[in-house]
């Protein structure tokens, strides 16, 4: 790709550095994760790397940061080829990275985190002087974050800002951001990205951001590069591209299954799932779910939106029987429901929790055994309730693997050896193969490729159309807007807002996610 013209910057005060990769190639064994990729980010540029999971975005930035040594290709910083052997070399060149997970130390305060991250942190810290220097530094910065509190007590958005501040504090002049907005509300994301874009416009900073949100690309970036299966398939100035064009570049020619249509539903359908004042604590004993009341009718998908860490995970754990309720009751068809196996069967409650390998499967047991969890103790798999016959178990597993297109080496392979999408399909096959009255789904498409996402969403929609009451918890607002009939926003353990999906919009939902 040809170098892009630098955005309008005053040449006098440009601190930002330009970074380019030339013919970057990385192989893991016989697998080529990155194939001859050349991108160029000019000083003061805001560049986005687009691509599906496994497209090679992370591999590319890890080569730039020195986590991986590329098999071929060079990194060019400010026009000079450089060798980056480890992240420390990258840091010396002014290149810093903000990761998806936080790298701050939870029990240290913001100030302690900043000072200790410096390579030249003094042996004895003179806090009076450091505070003055930090105050002077913060005065130049666009974000405000409290520095005197332990990081553990900061909100996710503040932590993310502090991560970025840390890199700027370390004199980072080229920031790599790996999906930085996944933990932020839409409002916070716009604020952070807007301030970073202002810094790039002033020439203080260049930004390379990994993202899959087209909205952020069109709103903030100057230029974009699209990766697919390790190769650069296109890119250019954002102004010259359309969202459809970018999506086509990302997905390629993979046929995508048609989205199942939303069947019309009579408004008078009865309530199936009724959560009445649920309260539950997190592991540290603080209230995670704090008085959640919600009704889900038959043939309805209620989507729970919210920034991660606002109690959604705890709520799903309560419904799965993984977390005790401190207060409140669950009713299904007006009868009290306890999250135990007997009631799951009686009320036909099924679920797909997030991270199914951890929450819904026994990783070392075989695919067939995992698929049999719901039925292994009932005929035909078992006689008298305890005598198991492997034949029917395998036959049923084989049929479901076939029907749900689970790619596995054999039925006897441990389920942990399957890819994420295939684990998801195997668990879905187990949960959706019978009659479903209530379905509880959490982040079902997290980390999956486009084709699997469409398929899994279609399965969920199909259950709704067949009359199941579906509770969909997702951190992906687009997923909720696509699937749900009604949106509920969860913030600080409470339901902050509910509305039919037709009567609301992204801004309103975002405001409630932020707790306003």
Partner 1 sequence: MTAQLAIVLTAMLGGAIRVSTPFIFVALGETLTEKSGRINLGLEGTLVLGAMLGYATAYLTGSPWLGVLAGGGAGVLLGTLHGLLCSLPRVNDIAVGIAMMTLGTGLAFFFGKPFIQPEAPHLPSIPLADWTGDPALAVALRVNPLFFVGVAAALVMAWGFRNTRIGLVVRTTGDSAAAALAMGVSVNRVRTLATATGGFLAGIGGAFLSLYYPGSWNEGLSSGQGLMAVALVIFARWSPIRCVLAALLFGAAGAIGPALQSVGVTQGYYLFNAAPYILTLLVMVGSSGSKDALRAAPGELSITR
Contact set for partner 1, span 286-305 (CB under 8 A): 286
Q: Tell the smallest beta-carbon distance from residue 306 to partner 1 (Å).
A: 24
**Residue 8 vs residues 44, 48, 161, 222: alpha-carbon distances, Å:** 8, 18, 25, 11
Q: 3-state SS of 448-472? A: CCHHHHHHHHHHHHHHHHCCCEEEE
Neighbours of 393 (CB within 10 A): 21
Instruction: By CB under 8 A, name the one of 72, 92, 121, 413 that touches partner 1.
Output: 121
- By the rule CB under 8 A, 111 interacts with partner 1: no
- By the rule CB under 8 A, 105 interacts with partner 1: yes
Stretch that binds partner 1, among 137-145, 214-222, 284-292, 389-397 (CB under 8 A): 284-292
Rounded-to-integer distance, Cα 4 and Cα 12, Å: 20
Cβ-Cβ contacts under 8 Å for 117 (sequence gap 6 or more)? 166, 169, 170
Q: Which is nearer to partner 1, 28 or 127 (CB)?
A: 127
**Residue 201 vs residues 12, 58, 207, 222, 337: alpha-carbon distances, Å:** 13, 26, 11, 10, 57
Instruction: By CB under 8 A, name the one of 28, 127, 247, 364 that touches partner 1.
Output: 127
Neighbours of 124 (CB within 10 A): 4
Instruction: By CB under 8 A, name the one of 69, 103, 254, 308 that touches partner 1.
Output: 103
Task: For strands 72-77 and 231-237, give the pairing.
Answer: unpaired
Name which of 257, 229, 233, 296 is nearest 56 in CA terms.
Answer: 229
455-480: b (≥16 Cβ within 10 Å) or e: bbbebbbebbbebbbbbbbbbbbebb
- By the rule CB under 8 A, 414 interacts with partner 1: no
- By the rule CB under 8 A, 162 interacts with partner 1: no
Instruction: By CB under 8 A, name the one of 85, 101, 140, 342 that touches partner 1.
Output: 101
Q: Tell the smallest beta-carbon distance from residue 328 to partner 1 (Å).
A: 21
- By the rule CB under 8 A, 106 interacts with partner 1: yes
- By the rule CB under 8 A, 148 interacts with partner 1: no
Rounded-to-integer distance, Cα 325 and Cα 317, Å: 10
- By the rule CB under 8 A, 433 interacts with partner 1: no
- By the rule CB under 8 A, 8 interacts with partner 1: no
Helix (H, G, I), strand (E, B) or coil at 335: strand
Instruction: By CB under 8 A, name the one of 3, 5, 81, 122 that touches partner 1.
Output: 122
Provide the H-helix boundaries in 231-351.
243-251, 312-320, 341-346
- By the rule CB under 8 A, 270 interacts with partner 1: no
- By the rule CB under 8 A, 314 interacts with partner 1: no
- By the rule CB under 8 A, 222 interacts with partner 1: no
Q: Given CA atoms 166, 167, 173, 177 in this order, what sign does their dihedral have? A: negative
Instruction: By CB under 8 A, name the one of 76, 108, 141, 233 that touches partner 1.
Output: 108
Q: Which is nearer to partner 1, 112 or 485 (CB)?
A: 112
Stretch that binds partner 1, among 277-285, 313-321, 327-335, 347-355 (CB under 8 A): 277-285
Stretch that binds partner 1, among 2-10, 99-107, 295-303, 353-361 (CB under 8 A): 99-107
User: What is the four-CA torsion angle of 182, 184, 185, 186, rounded to 10 degrees?
Assistant: -60
Rounded-to-integer distance, Cα 11 and Cα 28, Å: 42
Q: Tell the smallest beta-carbon distance from residue 110 to partner 1 (Å).
A: 13
Q: Which is nearer to partner 1, 121 or 340 (CB)?
A: 121
Q: Which is nearer to partner 1, 32 or 117 (CB)?
A: 117
- By the rule CB under 8 A, 125 interacts with partner 1: yes
- By the rule CB under 8 A, 85 interacts with partner 1: no
Q: Which is nearer to partner 1, 18 or 58 (CB)?
A: 58
Read off the tokens for 50: 């687009």
Helix (H, G, I), strand (E, B) or coil at 16: coil
Q: Tell the smallest beta-carbon distance from residue 170 to partner 1 (Å).
A: 11
Name which of 488, 482, 421 is nearest 453 in CA terms.
Answer: 421
Q: Which is nearer to partner 1, 128 or 385 (CB)?
A: 128
Q: Tell the smallest beta-carbon distance from residue 62 to partner 1 (Å).
A: 13
Instruction: By CB under 8 A, name the one of 11, 12, 83, 124 that touches partner 1.
Output: 124
- By the rule CB under 8 A, 92 interacts with partner 1: no
- By the rule CB under 8 A, 87 interacts with partner 1: yes
Read off the tokens for 374: 């719901």
Residue ranges of E strands in 259-306: 271-281, 287-297, 300-305
Q: Which is nearer to partner 1, 117 or 417 (CB)?
A: 117
Stretch that binds partner 1, among 104-112, 349-357, 460-468, 496-504 (CB under 8 A): 104-112
Q: Which residues pair with 335 in a beta bridge?
A: 332
User: Binding string to partner 1 for residues 249 to 268, with x set by CB under 8 A, is what?
Assistant: --------------------
Rounded-to-integer distance, Cα 316 and Cα 471, Å: 9
Task: For strands 223-228 and 46-50, give the pairing.
Answer: parallel
Q: Tell the smallest beta-carbon distance from residue 156 to partner 1 (Å).
A: 16
Whether residue 451 contacts residue 256, with contact meaning beta carbons closer than 8 Å, is answered with yes
Binding site for partner 1 (CB under 8 A): 87-88, 101, 103-108, 112, 115-117, 119, 121-125, 127, 152, 283-286
């Amino acid at each position: 790709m040809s170098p892009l013209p630098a955005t309008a910057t005053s040449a006098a005060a440009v601190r930002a550095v330009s970074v380019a990769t030339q013919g970057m190639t990385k192989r893991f064994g016989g697998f080529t994760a990155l194939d001859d990729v050349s991108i160029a980010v000019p000083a003061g540029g805001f560049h986005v790397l687009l691509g599906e999971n496994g497209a090679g975005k992370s591999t590319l930035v890890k080569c730039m940061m020195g986590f991986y040594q590329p098999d071929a290709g060079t990194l060019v910083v400010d026009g000079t080829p450089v060798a980056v052997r480890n992240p420390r070399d990258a840091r010396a060149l002014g290149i810093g990275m903000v990761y998806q997970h936080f790298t701050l130390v939870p029990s240290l305060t913001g100030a302690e985190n900043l000072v200790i991250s410096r390579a030249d942190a003094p042996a004895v810290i003179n806090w009076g002087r450091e505070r003055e220097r930090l105050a002077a530094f913060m005065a130049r910065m666009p974000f405000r974050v409290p520095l005197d509190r332990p990081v553990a007590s900061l909100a996710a958005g503040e932590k993310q800002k502090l991560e970025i501040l840390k890199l700027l504090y370390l004199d980072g002049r080229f920031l790599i951001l790996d999906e930085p907005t996944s933990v932020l509300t839409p409002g916070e994301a716009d604020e952070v990205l807007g301030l970073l874009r202002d810094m790039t416009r002033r020439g203080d900073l260049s930004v390379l951001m990994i993202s899959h949100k087209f909205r952020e690309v069109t709103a903030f970036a100057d230029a974009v590069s699209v990766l697919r299966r390790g190769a650069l398939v296109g890119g250019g100035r954002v102004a010259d591209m359309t969202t459809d064009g970018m999506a086509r570049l990302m997905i390629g020619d993979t046929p995508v299954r048609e989205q199942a249509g939303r069947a019309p539903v009579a408004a008078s359908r009865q309530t199936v799932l009724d959560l009445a004042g649920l309260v539950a604590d997190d592991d540290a004993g603080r209230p995670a779910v704090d008085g959640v009341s919600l009704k889900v009718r038959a043939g309805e998908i209620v989507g729970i939106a919210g920034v991660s860490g606002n109690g959604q995970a705890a709520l799903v754990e309560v419904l799965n029987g993984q977390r005790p309720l401190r207060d409140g009751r669950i009713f299904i068809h007006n009868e009290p429901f306890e999250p135990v196996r007997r009631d799951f069967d009686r009320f036909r409650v099924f679920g797909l929790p997030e991270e199914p390998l951890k929450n819904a499967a026994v990783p070392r047991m075989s695919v067939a055994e995992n698929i049999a969890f719901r039925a292994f103790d009932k005929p035909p798999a078992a006689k008298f309730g305890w005598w198991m016959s492997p034949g029917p178990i395998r036959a049923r597993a084989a049929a479901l693997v076939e029907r749900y297109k689970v790619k596995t080496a054999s039925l006897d392979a441990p389920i942990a050896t399957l890819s994420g999408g295939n684990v998801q399909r195997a668990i879905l096959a187990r949960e959706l193969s019978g009659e479903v009255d209530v379905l509880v789904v959490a982040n079902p498409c997290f980390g999956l490729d486009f084709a699997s996402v469409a398929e899994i969403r279609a399965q969920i929609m199909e259950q709704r159309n067949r009359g199941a009451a579906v509770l969909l918890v997702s951190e992906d607002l687009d997923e909720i807007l696509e699937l749900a009939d009604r949106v509920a926003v969860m913030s600080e353990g409470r339901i902050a807002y509910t509305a039919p999906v037709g009567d609301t919009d992204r801004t309103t939902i975002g405001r409630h996610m932020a707790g306003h």
